[in-house]
């Protein structure tokens, strides 16, 4: 018997709207949907953990069910928790490696050209598919040869000159794969007159949670809460992140899922577009040159869960000359490491199909989205390039 | 008019009646059971489903305590699929008399109940949701028992061996020839037909309603009904039975029953005329919730699903009027000796726990009367479903391909009979009730084999409509299946649906607030707004 503290399942009135909005349940009968996997069977699991249905592993943790729920049931959290609380954990090298973004990143950046060359080779992909059950159709993100952290060392002394500071949680993707986004963030923040602080952060824990390494995720969480709160010069200073999933983890998952006390940082965390937009609203607007692009904006699931989509859209509208086509809200299907696994790959692709179709119909110059894994999925499945809203803003700043 | 002849007639389909039917059948007698409503629809199905260790009676009533622990051990063997041997705790709260703890331990020792004192820390480890302020704890071999399953399994065994069972059939009167009973006149409430059953021996096992049955034979037998109310909460907040360590009184026990927990019980004298229309009083709910919260604080944060009440039958053996001499134990009356009516036996009093013993006592007397010399075997032969004891893990493996939650729940409810229910055909394990994991196959099995005549009967056999949604999503699906698997027209199925929702509403009405109210509004919207069933208007009339 477990101690019952998180009992939001008790509020479920079986309206089933979550299952209607579940992108996975829409494309496969293997998954009975969030209502069934979450609040319904939670009552049974409390009675006897052996009543756990393995079908709940198909949940991609996109959290669209939680957005849809009128009763504030933490459906995705219930399902994620059930995955590790009630099921026996089997060790899988693939899941271990996919969830260790720090480890893989350190290795990947050391041998970036070699690693990038090999991960795009057909024969290597075939081997990964056969041995590690990583789908051969999946394109891997490239590793950068110089990490963001290393680049930042050079700029640190300039950052100290600014009176006002912002703590930036860059995340693994920026550090190991795409430092340019980090540089863009620094450029935008500097343009707003803010110096940037970075900390000795660890992976936020999202891939660890998704692969069931909850203890490790808690360890990372505790570490991040400690270093971030230490880095705050005062209570008002913000901690920003340009990754929707990292922000969600810091703000929500730490408290709701990992049961950590994130109160020292919870009020300081802001998703970057919200922070920048608020500065704009307060009159702190740098000079922007017009960008005459037509872009299609895709809203990532986790950003929607945080309620931050409106800020990104509003910020894009502040860029002169830019035409923004807002795409109908659809999940891209990749859901972090979910789309990197053979058993879910077909589902992941099927979920994304609707989005790929409406992107083609919109026919923009390129796609804009806040999430790195959405970017991989869209770039792999459409002919369009995907740009982060902050990179676009950085381009507009002279 | 239809007539039939048999050796024994049993009136009442509660646990005792069902037990008598099985005992008679196993001893080779021809027996017929007549129940005016459904199996386990009276007192049997309206208690908290506690498998007593006897500890609750140990201090005050040693005889009952000894009976309980003896039957507890037997039932664990013959009816394991109706039982969960969860174990139980007696906990002392700071406001309780601390000396009761030792009195209880000593009395249990005397009654032969293995009660042992455990540390508060250990008690909290066993039951983490317990009030951490408790002062002391005693572990006892309590458990939970499902009365619907228990009664139904007795019926199933008897019917498979040739006994006849008429549910929804009222006994109009006991027919006498001089001083000898010859049979009963019955009225079938479904087909609206009269018929007669003849037999030289009649067992009146109709509990509190026995006063009325005896009256039809001109016998005056006074019952002193006492009402007990309980509330059911949405999920299992405790995994072992939690008793309060004090002289038994209102609101001092929380029993985990399948997927829910029940807080029991109150005790109030009621008049005999009101026993068919009892309602739970508001102050009873307040008492139960307030006291429940003292044992397990989570009670206050949890949705209350329903409130219901049952009526305890206390018998005035020799016609006392003031109730002082009323016996609280098992009462077996041979009306030949008491009232000079040959062939009529009344078995009453006792508890759900001692149903088998009561049945044995009554059947011994029946056997003596008709010259049957076989001895009782009900303590040895397992009930259908309990033949073999197999754990979840093995069954889940056996039925791999079907969701664990479905296999586990079906196995929990039907024991070994799960093999008569589940098959790997997709339609078979499609869910009808999403809260309690009742499949189409289970509904089919129940309608065809378990004397199901309406949706309320189906609920007692399967748990359909007993989860948090209280019939919201399962009721209309199940109603449709009555047409497919039973002899029902779409019109009668619709009527069954309406009756069922009204029955569900009755138990929800006293506790309509918070999430329960929201859920109810949604149910109302589906059935009234979408289906136009006229549920609530009818209820208000």
Q: Any CB–CB contact under 8 A between A319 and chain B?
A: no
pLDDT attached to residue B210: 95
Q: Mean pLDDT over residues B367-395, rounded?
A: 93
The residues that bridge with B197 in the sheet, in sequence order, are B4, B184
Give the pLDDT band of residue A2 (cuts 50, 70, 90): low
Structure tokens that stand for B75 in this block: 């039932």
pLDDT at B322 over 60: no
Each residue of B137-189: pLDDT tens digit? 999 999 999 999 999 999 999 999 999 999 999 999 999 999 999 999 999 99
Contact: B404, A2; criterion CB under 8 Å: no
CA closest to B257 among chain A residues: A47
Contact: B435, A43; criterion CB under 8 Å: yes
Angstroms from B17 CA to nearest CA on chain A: 31
Interfacial residues of B (vs A; Cβ cutoff 8 Å): 126-129, 234-240, 256, 258-259, 298, 301-303, 392-393, 396, 403-405, 408-409, 434-435, 437, 467-469, 472-473, 515, 518-519, 522
Contact: B468, A50; criterion CB under 8 Å: no
Chain A CB contacts of B467 below 8 Å: 43
Query: Which residues are CB-contacts of B532 (< 8 A; sequence separation ≥ 6)?
Result: none
Contact present, A6 and B508 (Cβ < 8 Å): no
pLDDT at A46 over 60: yes
Contact present, B186 and B196 (Cβ < 8 Å): yes
Contact: B405, A41; criterion CB under 8 Å: yes
Rounded distance, CA B252 to CA B294, Å?
Answer: 9
Rounded distance, CA A280 to CA A319, Å?
Answer: 11
pLDDT attached to residue B455: 97
Contact: A50, B128; criterion CB under 8 Å: no
Give the pLDDT band of residue A267 (cuts 50, 70, 90): very high
Rounded distance, CA B12 to CA B19, Å?
Answer: 11
Q: Any CB–CB contact under 8 A between A11 and chain B?
A: yes
Interface of A with B in 20-49 (CB under 8 A): 32, 35-36, 40-44, 46-48
Q: Mean pLDDT over residues A26-39, rounded?
A: 96
Strand boundaries in chain A, DSSP class E:
164-169, 194-197, 239-241, 269-271, 294-297, 323-326, 366-368, 386-387
Q: Mean pLDDT over residues B429-437, rounded?
A: 96
CB count, 10 Å around CB of A313? 17
pLDDT attached to residue B328: 67
Q: Mean pLDDT over residues A83-111, rounded?
A: 86
Q: Mean pLDDT over residues A76-97, rounded?
A: 86
User: Among B259, B409, B472, whose Cβ lies nearest the Cβ of A14?
Assistant: B472
In a mutagenesis test of the A interface, which of B235, B432, B436, B439 is the best target, namely the one with the most A β-carbons within 10 Å?
B235
In a mutagenesis test of the B interface, which of A1, A3, A39, A49 is the best target, namely the one with the most B β-carbons within 10 Å?
A1
Each residue of A283-335: pLDDT tens digit? 999 999 999 999 999 999 999 999 999 999 999 999 999 999 999 999 999 99
- Structural domains of chain B ordered from first start: 2-43+148-223+315-370 (3.50.50.60), 80-145+226-310 (3.30.9.10), 392-540 (no CATH)
pLDDT attached to residue B325: 52
pLDDT attached to residue B327: 61
Q: Which long-range contacts (CB under 8 A, 24 or more apart) does A112-117 make?
A: A112/A142, A112/A143, A112/A144, A112/A145, A113/A145, A115/A143, A116/A142, A116/A143
The answer to which of A152-156, B230-234, B264-268, B388-392 has the lowest mean pLDDT is B388-392
- Structural domains of chain A ordered from first start: 8-86 (1.10.1060.10), 286-396 (3.40.50)
Structure tokens that stand for B300 in this block: 């206050």
Instruction: Tell me how long chain B is.
Output: 541
pLDDT attached to residue B536: 43
Each residue of B16-56: pLDDT tens digit? 999 999 999 999 999 999 999 999 999 999 999 999 999 99
User: Among A2, A40, A50, whose Cβ lies nearest the Cβ of B404?
Assistant: A50
Chain A CB contacts of B234 below 8 Å: 10, 43
CA closest to B405 among chain A residues: A51
Rounded distance, CA B535 to CA B528, Å?
Answer: 6
Query: Which residues are CB-contacts of A47 (< 8 A; sequence separation ≥ 6)?
Result: B236, B256, B258, B259
Rounded distance, CA A369 to CA A378, Å?
Answer: 10
Each residue of B72-97: pLDDT tens digit? 999 999 999 999 999 999 999 999 99
Q: Any CB–CB contact under 8 A between A3 and chain B?
A: yes
CA closest to A29 among chain B residues: B426
CA closest to A37 among chain B residues: B405
Angstroms from A71 CA to nearest CA on chain B: 9
Pairing of strands B253-257, B260-264: antiparallel
Q: For residue A209, is it left (φ>0), alpha (ψ between -120 and 50) or beta?
A: alpha
| Number of cross-chain residue pairs from A and B with Cβ atoms under 8 Å apart | 90
pLDDT attached to residue B362: 98
Give the pLDDT band of residue B540 (cuts 50, 70, 90): very low
pLDDT at B538 over 90: no
Chain A CB contacts of B519 below 8 Å: 13-14
Contact: A43, B302; criterion CB under 8 Å: no
Angstroms from A55 CA to nearest CA on chain B: 8
Q: ipTM for the complex?
A: 0.92
Torsions phi, psi for B451 (to 5 deg): 55, 50
Rounded distance, CA A362 to CA B360, Å?
Answer: 80
Give the pLDDT band of residue B539 (cuts 50, 70, 90): very low
Structure tokens that stand for B101 in this block: 């703890």
Whole-prediction pTM value?
0.93
Rounded distance, CA A246 to CA A388, Å?
Answer: 15
CB count, 10 Å around CB of B104? 25
Pairing of strands B83-84, B330-334: unpaired
User: Among A16, A46, A52, whose Cβ lies nearest the Cβ of B235?
Assistant: A46
pLDDT at B324 over 90: no
H/E stretch holding B336: helix B335-339
Q: Helices then strands (H, E): number in chain A?
A: 24, 8
Rounded distance, CA A224 to CA A218, Å?
Answer: 10
């Amino acid at each position: 018997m477990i101690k019952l503290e998180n009992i939001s399942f008790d509020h479920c009135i079986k309206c089933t709207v979550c299952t209607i909005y579940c992108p996975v349940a829409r494309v496969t009968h293997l998954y009975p949907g969030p209502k069934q996997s979450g609040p319904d069977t939670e009552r049974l699991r409390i009675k006897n953990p052996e009543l756990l249905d393995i079908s709940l592993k198909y949940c991609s943790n996109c959290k669209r069910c939680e957005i849809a729920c009128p009763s504030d049931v933490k459906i995705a959290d219930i399902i994620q928790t059930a995955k590790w609380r009630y099921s026996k954990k089997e060790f899988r090298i693939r899941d271990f490696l996919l969830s260790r973004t720090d480890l893989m990143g350190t290795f990947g950046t050391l041998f970036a050209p070699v690693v990038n060359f090999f991960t795009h080779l057909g024969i290597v992909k075939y081997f990964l598919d056969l041995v590690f059950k990583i789908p051969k159709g999946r394109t891997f993100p490239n590793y950068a040869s110089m990490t963001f952290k290393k680049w930042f060392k050079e700029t640190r002394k300039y950052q100290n000159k600014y009176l006002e500071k912002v703590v930036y949680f860059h995340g693994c993707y920026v550090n190991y794969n795409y430092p340019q986004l980090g540089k863009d963030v620094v450029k935008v923040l500097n343009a707003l007159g803010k110096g940037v602080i970075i900390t000795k952060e660890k992976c936020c824990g999202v891939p660890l949670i998704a692969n069931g390494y909850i203890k490790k995720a808690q360890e990372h969480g505790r570490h991040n809460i400690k270093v971030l709160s230490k880095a705050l010069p005062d209570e008002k200073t913000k901690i920003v992140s340009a990754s929707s999933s990292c922000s969600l983890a810091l703000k929500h998952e730490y408290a709701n899922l990992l049961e950590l006390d994130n109160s020292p940082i919870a009020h300081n965390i802001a998703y970057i577009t919200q922070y920048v937009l608020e500065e704009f609203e307060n009159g702190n607007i740098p000079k922007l040159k017009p960008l005459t692009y037509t872009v299609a904006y895709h809203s990532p699931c986790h950003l929607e869960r945080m309620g931050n989509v409106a800020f990104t859209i509003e910020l894009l509208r502040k860029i002169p000359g830019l035409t923004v086509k807002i795409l109908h809200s659809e999940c891209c299907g990749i859901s972090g490491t979910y789309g990197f696994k053979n058993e879910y790959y077909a589902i992941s692709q099927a979920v994304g199909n609707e989005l790929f179709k409406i992107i083609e119909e919109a026919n923009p110059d390129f796609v804009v989205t806040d999430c790195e894994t959405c970017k991989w999925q869209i770039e792999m499945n459409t002919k369009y390039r995907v740009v982060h809203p902050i990179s676009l803003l950085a381009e507009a700043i002279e | 008019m239809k007539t039939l002849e048999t050796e024994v007639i049993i009136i009442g389909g509660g646990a005792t009646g069902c037990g008598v039917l099985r005992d008679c059948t196993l001893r080779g007698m021809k027996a017929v059971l007549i129940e005016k409503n459904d199996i386990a629809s009276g007192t049997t199905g309206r208690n908290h489903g506690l498998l007593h260790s006897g500890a609750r009676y140990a201090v005050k009533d040693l005889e009952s305590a000894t009976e309980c622990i003896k039957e507890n051990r037997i039932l664990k063997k013959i009816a394991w699929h109706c039982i969960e041997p969860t174990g139980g705790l007696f906990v002392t709260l700071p406001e309780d008399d601390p000396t009761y703890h030792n009195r209880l331990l000593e009395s249990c020792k005397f009654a032969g109940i293995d009660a042992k004192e455990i540390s508060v820390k250990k008690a909290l480890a066993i039951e983490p949701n317990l009030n951490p302020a408790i002062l002391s704890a005693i572990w006892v071999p309590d458990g939970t028992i499902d009365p619907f399953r228990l009664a139904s399994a007795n019926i199933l065994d008897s019917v498979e061996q040739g006994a006849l069972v008429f549910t929804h059939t009222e006994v109009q009167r006991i027919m006498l020839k001089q001083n000898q009973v010859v049979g009963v006149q019955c009225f079938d409430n479904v087909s609206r037909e009269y018929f007669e059953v003849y037999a030289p021996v009649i067992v009146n096992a109709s509990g509190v309603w026995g006063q009325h049955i005896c009256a039809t034979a001109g016998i005056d037998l006074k019952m002193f009904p006492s009402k007990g109310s309980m509330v059911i909460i949405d999920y299992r907040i405790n995994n072992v039975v939690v008793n309060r360590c004090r002289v038994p009184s209102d609101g001092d026990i929380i029993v985990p029953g399948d997927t829910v927990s029940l807080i029991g019980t109150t005790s109030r004298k009621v008049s005999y005329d009101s026993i068919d229309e009892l309602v739970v009083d508001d102050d009873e709910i307040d008492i139960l919730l307030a006291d429940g919260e003292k044992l397990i604080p989570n009670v206050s944060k949890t949705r209350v699903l329903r409130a219901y009440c049952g009526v305890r039958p206390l018998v005035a053996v020799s016609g006392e009027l003031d109730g002082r001499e009323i016996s609280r134990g098992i009462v077996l009356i041979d009306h030949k000796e008491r009232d000079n009516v040959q062939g009529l036996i009344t078995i009453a009093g006792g508890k759900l726990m001692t149903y088998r013993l009561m049945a044995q006592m009554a059947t011994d007397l029946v056997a003596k009367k008709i010259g049957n010399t076989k001895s009782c075997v009900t303590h040895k032969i397992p009930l259908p479903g309990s033949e073999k004891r197999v754990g979840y893990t093995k069954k889940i493996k056996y039925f791999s391909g079907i969701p664990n939650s479905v296999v586990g729940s079906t196995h929990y409810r039907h024991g070994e009979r799960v093999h008569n229910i589940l098959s790997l055909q997709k339609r078979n394990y499609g869910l009808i009730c999403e809260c309690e994991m009742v499949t189409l196959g289970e509904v089919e099995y129940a309608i065809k084999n378990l004397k199901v005549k309406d949706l309320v009967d189906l609920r007692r056999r399967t748990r359909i409509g007993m989860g948090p949604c209280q019939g919201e999503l399962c009721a209309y699906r199940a109603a449709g299946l009555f047409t497919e698997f039973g002899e029902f027209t779409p019109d009668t199925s619709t009527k069954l649906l309406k009756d069922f929702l009204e029955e569900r509403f009755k138990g929800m009405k006293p506790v309509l607030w918070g999430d329960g109210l929201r859920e109810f509004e949604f149910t109302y919207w589906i059935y009234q707004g979408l289906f136009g069933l006229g549920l609530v208007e009818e209820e208000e009339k």
